[in-house]
Structure 1
Amino acid sequence: MWSRRAFGQKLIGALLDRGPSLLRGMPGMLSAGFIARPRGGVRRRAEGRALVHGQWRDFALDQPFRVASISKMVAATGFMSLVTQGRVDLDADVSVYLGETLRHPAFPDISITPRMLLSHTSGLRNGADFPVPFNRSLLGRLREAAREDNYGGWLAPASERPSHWFSYSDTNFAVLAQIIERVTGGRFDRFMREMLFEPLGLDVGYNWSGVSQRKRARAAAACEWQDGAWRPQVDAAPPRAPEIVFYRGENNDAAAEANYSIGLNGFAFAPQGGLRASVADLDRLARFYLDRARAGDGALTQMTSPAWVFDPAAPNGDTLNGFYQAFGLGVQTPLARPAQHGLRSDAYFGADSVSWRGHLGDAYGWMTGLFWNARENATLVWAINGMPETDRPPGARSALSSPEEAVIDAGLAALR
């Protein structure tokens, strides 16, 4: 086994760009890879192992996996197409689109808007029983939560006013997906496929929706080291095409695609983290964003402009120890602030972090990133598998982990 793996790694090294070992700089990780595109060129690296349908193989850049919260930025891109078409107003009350009133019970006079959802300033949270299972009403659960102690964890405390206070929450994007369905009259997954994935020639999809069997056969499971072994957390055995994965919850006999109710529960296709794509697919998306940025696309300009900025003198959000210090509309907008006020820095890319736009991902062992730099005409995407849920090795310069900083540094070196 080990000699065959060594041969495979040697062969991969011949096909990809050579350089110092990625995994040597991130001990304890299962695999890592990146694609960096400097002006007119491309650099690729992949190392480690992947669990593919129960078999250990070399990790490859064309293996699809659950890309985590990069999914949010991609969903935001779909949503902004409706804004561009004039079908949605960023500053309108979302109740108009949802067909039901959505308010924070402590702030009944403040309308929750799409802009608040996209920038995580809506006052919505991930509840104690997050997410809402398939074909159960999301707004119904939020109404119930409004009558529970501490709002069941689904809504911010009364000290955190919507539109003012930032708190990163998956629920915002479930509501956005629900608005997409209510406005278009179709399913979120199909909307994303027709609006973005098919035009870009991408064989990707939320919760495996629309992904070919050929692509699914290469799926890499999310893994974590538990009890002395690598154990799959997600996608150990993806369903055969065209089946879709749904979070069904307990005793949910109606959890079948044929029973899906459009506009009832935006969590169904996991817009917050359920996109399945490969590093190579992320690279294609990064080039798409870079091209739009350099063309001055209006919707992307709105997305990449900070809609919320942390104020250390009068705290107005949960930065997660400095990880979030500014946020656009579905896009992370690092400011490269130094460590201060007891917070770590958001200089993910070093001093030039302010020129980078994109989104990070973190779920089930996968750590991912999709970023572009319009000033330098460059893109960088990456994935790391095997990150533990707790006790993560801290980064040297930022609120990221040291393995994330290591893969970013390798990518930045490849861009030079």
Structure 2
Amino acid sequence: MRWLVVILAGLAATCGALPRPVATEDPAPPAWTARAAIAFDAAGERGGRAEGFADAAVNRVLTLDDPVRVASVSKLVVAIGVMRLAERGILDLDRPVGDWLGYPVVNPAYPAQVVTLRGLLSHTASLRDHDDRYAIPLGGSLRSVLADPASWDPGHGPAAHRFAYANLNFPVVAAVMEKATGERFDRLMQREVLAPLSIDGCFNWPTCSDAAVARAVALTTPEGAERKDLLRGARPACPVQAAGDGSCDLARWTAGENGSLFAPQGGLRISARGLAKIGRLLLGRGTVDGVRLLSPAGIAAIEAPVWRFDGGNGATDGGFFCTYGLAVQTLASRQAGCRDDATGTARRWVGHAGEAYGLRSGLWIDRARGVGVAYFVTGLGPDDGPGAETAFTRAEAEAFRLAESLAARR
């Protein structure tokens, strides 16, 4: 909890005196390398703090503008891109995705049931992750993965509307986006979402600026061993998973062939400040800093729950997932078996969490109070476990308490 007290003290000068943060069950913070948190409202940032090192081996101090791989928070940003295309009539959330891909996309056990973008974005399409096959190397085929019965739930089809969180959904979404536009996924997301918002972010690095590459946050083990993005100013030799022969010729890209190349499920590199702008876009119902990206109806459609846990209609990951929309979670659900209340306040937060390579991240808004928080913590080990009352880890719960303290000032 020490780091949260430091954050609150640093923010007091600009935000006034803040309430005392709620005590945790275990006051000892987990080991970490870097952590950043920003509290915001629709008008702007309300305060933020960065601590630790973006690259500990060379003592490069973290800032709020340093991009990090935010893992599954990427999914929420992809949903914004999908909705941009849907609002222009380029995509249809309820049309069979095979219409774009040019081949049937069906659960082989339920061939008459259609798979749609709405089902994919809400993890109710009956796809499942199988041996991490959602990471398809260059030259590989998404079609071959989808043709494998092991990629599907044999006991439930899309019509069962059963939630099963699966990264594989998002390479399919990205492939549909590519086929509908003829544009490479990372460039499409740059044009549709990141550039209009003046966010220097990217999927898997090719469309980020040299300055952003130079500020990349390295993801390491608690002992300092490299996990991801130890770039030190040099772009990765291969920004995607290389072909089986080790080659990395992106000229081989073909629209829709392999939607996993630029990691739509978790490969967004973005800073805490950039994440806060995405959150402010949500709070502004599609508008931020005078830029309208989506209609209020589009934002409402993303946030609206598509699935709610009823005790037996899906896998909750230990009570973490209990209400889900189009790549957004809603907290706290209050149903029996749910442990998705990060702060113990039972307030309704909407957003997404991320976890990968020793990182925990999150972007959440409380629409009722008009506030939100963006955060990430790196260098976490297996000791960063969930609390007794919540499926969120200590690092995540501490970041939430920052937002709760700031929100109490309204």
Q: What TM-score do you get using the length of structure 1 for normalisation?
A: 0.86
* Unaligned stretches of 5+ residues in structure 2: 1-5, 288-293
Q: Does 1:322 align with 2:301?
A: no
Look up the match of 2:82: 79
Could you tell me how far 1:272 is from its partner in structure 2?
0.5
2:71 to 68, 74, 78: 68
- Distance in 2 between the 1:46 and 1:94 partners? 41
Distance verdict in 2 for CA 1:251–1:39, change over 3 Å: closer
Give the Cα–Cα distance (whole angstroms) in 2 for the partners of residues 190 and 324 of structure 1.
31
Over residues 143-191 of structure 1, what are the superposed CA-to-partner deviations in whole Å (9 max), with x where a residue is unaligned?
1x23xxxx2xx222x2223242111111101100000000001111111
Q: What corresponds to 2:240 in structure 1?
A: 246
Write the distance in 2 (CA, Å) between the matches of 1:405 and 1:14. 18
Aligned to 2:361, which of 356, 368, 377? 368
1:61–1:25 distance in 2 versus 1, CA, 3 Å: farther
Distance 1:49 1:370, change over 3 A: same
Distance in 1, matches of 2:53 and 2:7, equals 12
Q: Report what 1:161 is aligned to.
A: 157
Q: Displacement, 1:230? A: 2.0
C-alpha distance 282-179 of structure 1, shift in aligned 2 (>3 A): same
User: Which of the residues 350, 358, 362 maps onto 1:357?
Assistant: 350
Show the counterpart of 1:184.
181
Q: Which residue of 2 aligns with 1:414?
A: 406
Match of 1:332 among 317, 329, 334: 329
Pick aligned residue for 2:387 from 360, 385, 395? 395
State yes or no: 1:27 paired with 2:16: no
Aligned mate of 2:225, from 217, 225, 231: 231
Quote the residue 1:45 is aligned against.
49
SS at match of 2:299: helix
Moved more, 235-244 or 376-385: 235-244
The structure 2 residue matched to 1:124, chosen from 110, 127, 133, is 127
Distance 1:99 1:252 in 2: 29
Query: What root-mean-square deviation, in Å, do the aligned CA atoms of Structure 1 and Structure 2 show?
Result: 2.7
Q: CA deviation at 1:48?
A: 2.1
Q: Secondary structure at the match of 1:400?
A: coil
Question: CA 1:39–1:234 in 2, change beyond 3 Å: closer, same or farther?
Answer: closer
Alignment partner of 1:288 is 2:313: no
**Would you say 1:279 and 2:276 are equivalent positions?**
no
Residue 195 of structure 1: aligned partner = 192
AA of the residue aligned to 2:168: T
**Using the alignment, how far apart are the partners of 2:84 and 2:42 within structure 1?**
28
Structure 1 counterpart of 2:218, from 195, 216, 221: 221
> Could you say which residue in structure 2 is the equivalent of 1:7?
none
Cα distance, 1:129 vs. partner?
A: 4.8
What is the CA distance between 1:357 and its match in structure 2? 1.2
Letter in 1 for 2:152: L
Question: Residue 135 in 1 paired to residue 114 in 2?
Answer: no
TM-score with structure 2 setting the length = 0.87
Q: Give the AA of the match of 1:45.
A: R
Q: Distance in 1 between matches of 2:210 and 2:251?
A: 20
1:292 positional shift:
1.5
- Identity fraction in percent: 33
Give the partner amino acid of 1:109: A
SS in 2 for 1:353: coil
Q: Which runs of no fewer than 5 residues in structure 1 stay unpaired?
A: 1-10
Partner Cα separation in structure 2 for residue 17 and residue 383 of structure 1: 21
Shift of 1:238: 6.3
* 1:87 Cα offset (Å): 2.1
Given the superposition, is the C-alpha separation of residues 24 and 398 from structure 1 closer, same or farther in structure 2, using an over 3 Å criterion?
closer
Contact 2:173–2:259, Cα closer than 8 Å, also in 1: yes
- The 1:239/1:186 distance shift into structure 2, 3 A limit, reads farther
Deviation per CA, 1:97-140, whole angstroms, max 9, x where unpaired? 11111111100110111111010011112221522112211112
